[in-house]
Copies of this chain bind each other. A is one copy, B any other.
């Protein structure tokens, strides 16, 4: 009893530890060994997080200060629920931009034109606009959180699998391009309209260049200097990463200097520079997001939920592998779901992770999420105390920081030639997703890319590889007769290896491959034979031919009457003549007494080697059955080899077998089939000639039974 109780307590504890991973790692925290490095890491990461939070807020189209909240709140819950020990939770440019596009679409400038017009300029009520945008962003965050929590609850972490590498590559490159354009506007401080929907990025780009005359020189110079400095120092960081203990926090340094200059030179007044202006000091009380606009943002939030999760998990996995611990995909969904729901109430935008920030956290010695919570503390200090100091900072500097971080994403373009060499389809997926995401926008583009990637799978299955195979001399190995020299084919036997599932999409391919392998069209042969039989029968009736046991004996010089031009008139009439049944033996491979062009059939057996047929559907079964019947009619037996057991089972379920198609047509291997057929031929040669008995007067109606595709029924 006591033991049972213990057992159940243990189980409860395990479940609890799965749901609250903090219970797993916090009690084992080695204060002495880890705390110091976590502290150092926390401070460095916190500084970067402060800066990135503000910069990415520009992408999310909310006032800069709200980026600080987004870099603070999500960490608090992730600390409790997350399973990754190294990722730095917070905003990420691609996701921020996706949030921004929803926000801009639902609250464009045009909605906030102030009633008081001064002179001839329209004045926008920026306070109301920003309030609305923050509310929309946090509503979206809440919805994304709910979706992620549901996904976690449904245990569908596996859907990330569908985001194949080429897809992600194309998508993030397109995102980098989108981010670049959106930041370009801020660097130049050029006013543009907000475009939405298809090609909006192109329109924005055009308008930026149209208005390039109104560039603010102070902002432009500050932005460009930031970009150049950051890129150079990052390059150095990268090149000498083994020689310097921690990467130089160039963004922080640049920001501090830029703030000082802006304050000192009073750039806002003197040069009309666009500065951060107001950062809310302290916290806002939680706000109930606007739940009734959920339906309007549903599609976008699905994309955002999946992308945000995919980014976090893929970055988390890198470090989990490095430090050898497991990341629970479903728990991550739950953790980010809870974090986004929580922070949705505190005016945040969607949180995930950023590789650059996570790299800082890890490289400066972060061991656990203690470093994360310490970085949140630094952000907290910024919110409460330092925020005001950053107010003179130019927005273009922040935009410059963002742009400088895009290099890695753009460099992915270099993957494409390699992909093309290795696998053309993957390269096409990359390019398609990238173009779709640029043209259609990120959410629709991702969806289009996903659909396209799935379609390529169908296409790859649909255009199957097949080959006519023969044995390598003196072995039981069968290889393509086209690819290999010296393959041997048994006389009268053709073997077709079909390497694909058989389903409605590739039936035509199957039929074509059968036809190409055997070298004739079974239906055509049958019809020609029927026609020839009719003629023979007529001649017999006229007495010009005699049917004997040894075949048909033609009375010389009479064959002209059965002459038929080479071009066939296939007239249906002909088949309707009711005929008396006369048994005639015809050797179809000899010259016929009538001049009907009956194609020669050089084989007696066709073996379909189906080792790679992983499934069949009902259309596939029907087509296979039809192929077997069509060949049986012209006295060619069809055998199957290497069919997987479950496929045979499916054939049985779908009514493949009947009186003519029995289960003895299956062989374990192609070689088994060939051995059997060789034996057969030997024993048959002893017994009989290959003359065949055919009943004349088969009514055309018997064609009906062949089970062709049933028509669309209307009556």
Task: Enumerate chain B residues within 8 angstroms of A407, measured Cβ to Cβ.
Answer: 715
Cα–Cα distance between A706 and B642 once the two chains are bound (Å): 35
A379 to B320: give the CA distance in the assembly, Å: 77
Mark contacts of A22-59 with chain B using CB atoms, 8 A cut-off: 1 yes-contact digit, 0 otherwise: 00000010100110000000000000000000000000
Interface bin, chain A: 35 or more
How long is the Cα–Cα vector from A234 to B621 in the complex, in angstroms?
Answer: 33
How close is A156's CB to chain B, nearest CB, in angstroms? 12
Would you give the 0/1 interface string for A397-411, flagging 1 where the beta carbon is closer than 8 Å to chain B?
A: 000000001011101
Chain B hits for A421, CB < 8 A: 653
Given contacts A454-B458, A455-B454, contact A710 B165 (CB under 8 A): yes
State A508–B158 Cα separation when bound (angstroms): 8
Complexed CA–CA distance, A315 and B709 (Å): 10
The residues of B that contact A644 with a CB separation of less than 8 Å are 465, 499, 612
A571 touching B356, Cβ below 8 Å: no
- In the complex the two chains form, what is the Cα distance from A470 to B421 in whole Å? 38
Check A423–B650 contact: CB distance below 8 A: yes
The reply to whether B464 and A33 form a contact with Cβ atoms under 8 Å apart is no
**B residues less than 8 Å from A706 (CB atoms):** 321
Question: Which segment of A261-269, A298-306, A322-330, A546-554 sits at the interface?
Answer: A322-330
Chain B residues with CB below 8 A from A451, complex form? 451
Q: Is the CB of A711 within 8 A of B315?
A: yes
**For A34, what are the chain B residues with a Cβ–Cβ distance below 8 Å?**
573
Chain B's nearest CB lies how many Å from the CB of A654?
4
Q: Is A661 located at the chain interface by the 8 A CB criterion?
A: no
0 or 1 for each of A636-658: is its CB under 8 Å from B? (1 = yes): 00000010111000100111000
Whether A172 sits at the interface, judged by CB under 8 Å, is yes
Residues on B with beta carbons closer than 8 Å to the beta carbon of A425: 617
Proximity string of chain A (467-493) to chain B, C-beta cutoff 8 Å, 1 when within and 0 when not: 000000000010110010000000000
Query: Is A504 positioned at the interface, with any CB of B under 8 Å from its CB?
Result: yes
Q: Quick one: which of B166, B315, B569, B712 contacts A315, CB cutoff 8 A?
A: B712
Q: How far is the CB of A508 from chain B (nearest CB, A)?
A: 6
Bound CA–CA A325/B574 (angstroms): 13
C-alpha spacing A635/B227, complex, angstroms: 49
Q: Does A3 contact B (CB under 8 A)?
A: no
Most chain B beta-carbon neighbours within 10 Å: one of A172, A500, A700, A711: A711
- Contact assessment for B614 and A165 in the assembled complex, using a CB-CB cutoff below 8 Å: no
Least distance between A369 CB and chain B CB atoms (Å): 13
Closest to A653 in B: B422
Interface contact B611-A611, CB-CB below 8 Å = yes
Residue A615, interface by CB 8 Å: yes
Please give the distance in Å from A486's CB to the nearest CB on chain B. 16
Q: Is B703 touching A405 in the complex (CB atoms < 8 A)?
A: no
Q: Does A684 contact B (CB under 8 A)?
A: no
A317 pairs with B708, CB closer than 8 A = yes
Which residues of chain B have C-beta atoms less than 8 A from A503's C-beta? 457, 460
**Closest Cβ–Cβ distance, residue A394 to chain B (whole Å):** 23
Contact B618–A172 (Cβ < 8 Å): no
Check A714–B356 contact: CB distance below 8 A: yes
Contact call A314/B465, Cβ cutoff below 8 A: no
- Cα distance, A260 to B162, chains bound together (Å): 66
Instruction: Give Cα A706 to B318, complex, Å.
Output: 11
Q: How far is the CB of A361 from chain B (nearest CB, A)?
A: 13
In the bound complex, what is the Cα–Cα distance between A409 and B713 (angstroms)? 6
A239 at interface, CB cutoff 8 A: no
Q: Which residues of B contact A710 (CB under 8 A)?
A: 165
Q: Which residues of B contact A30 (CB under 8 A)?
A: 571, 573
Once the chains bind, are A408 and B356 in contact (CB under 8 Å)?
no
Q: In whole Å, how far is A30's beta carbon from the nearest beta carbon of chain B?
A: 7
* A431 at the B interface (CB under 8 A): no
Q: Which residues of B contact A386 (CB under 8 A)?
A: none
Contact of A709 among B165, B234, B464 (CB under 8 A): B165
Complex Cα spacing A146 to B711, Å: 26
- Asked whether any CB of chain B lies closer than 8 Å to the CB of A527, the reply is yes
A426 within 8 A of B: yes
A465 touches B714 (CB 8 A): no
Give Cα A460 to B617, complex, Å.
10
Report chain B residues within 8 Å CB of A321: 703, 706, 708
Q: Does A367 contact B (CB under 8 A)?
A: yes
Does A704 sit within 8 A of B, measured CB to CB? yes
Contacts of A311 in B (CB 8 A): 712
Cβ–Cβ contact A570 & B324, under 8 A:
yes
Task: Considering the complex, give the chain B residue whose CB is closest to the CB of A14.
Answer: B567
Q: Closest CB of chain B to A433's CB: distance in Å?
A: 13
The reply to whether A457 and B458 contact each other, CB–CB distance below 8 Å, is yes
Bound-state Cα–Cα, A612 to B92, Å: 42
Q: Does A507 contact B (CB under 8 A)?
A: yes
In the assembled complex, the Cα of A712 lies from the Cα of B165 at a distance in Å of: 9
Contact B457 A161 (CB under 8 A): no
Task: Report the Cα distance A654→B653, complex, angstroms.
Answer: 40
- One digit per residue, 1 when the CB lies within 8 angstroms of any chain B CB and 0 when it does not, for chain A 530-566 equals 0000000000000000000000000000000000000
In-complex Cβ contact of A619 among B165, B618, B668, B712 (8 A): B165
From residue A598, how far is it (CB to closest CB) to chain B in Å? 14
Contacts of A409 in B (CB 8 A): 713-714
A152 sits at the interface (CB 8 A): no
Q: Are the CB atoms of B419 and A355 closer together than 8 Å?
A: no
Task: Determine the residue in chain B with the shortest Cβ distance to A427.
Answer: B618
Residues of B contacting A85 in the complex (Cβ-Cβ under 8 angstroms)? 572
Report the bound CA distance from A615 to B570 in whole Å.
43
Q: A354 within 8 Å of B by Cβ?
A: yes
A416 to chain B, nearest CB (A): 12
A192 proximal to B (CB < 8 A): no
Evaluate whether A527 and B714 lie within 8 angstroms (CB atoms) in the complex, with A460-B615, A612-B614 already known: no
The 6 closest A-B pairs by CB, nearest first: A164-B504, A323-B572, A355-B714, A356-B715, A408-B713, A422-B654
Can you list 9 residue pairs at the A/B interface with Cβ under 8 Å? A30-B571, A158-B508, A161-B505, A162-B505, A322-B704, A367-B572, A454-B458, A465-B644, A480-B645
Enumerate chain A interface residues (CB-CB to B < 8 A): 28, 30, 33-34, 85, 92-93, 158, 161-162, 164-166, 168, 172, 234, 310-311, 314-315, 317-318, 321-325, 354-356, 359, 367, 405, 407-409, 411-412, 419, 421-423, 425-426, 451, 453-455, 457-458, 460-461, 464-465, 477, 479-480, 483, 499-501, 503-505, 507-508, 527, 569-573, 575, 611-615, 617-619, 621, 642, 644-646, 650, 653-655, 668-669, 700, 703-704, 706, 708-715
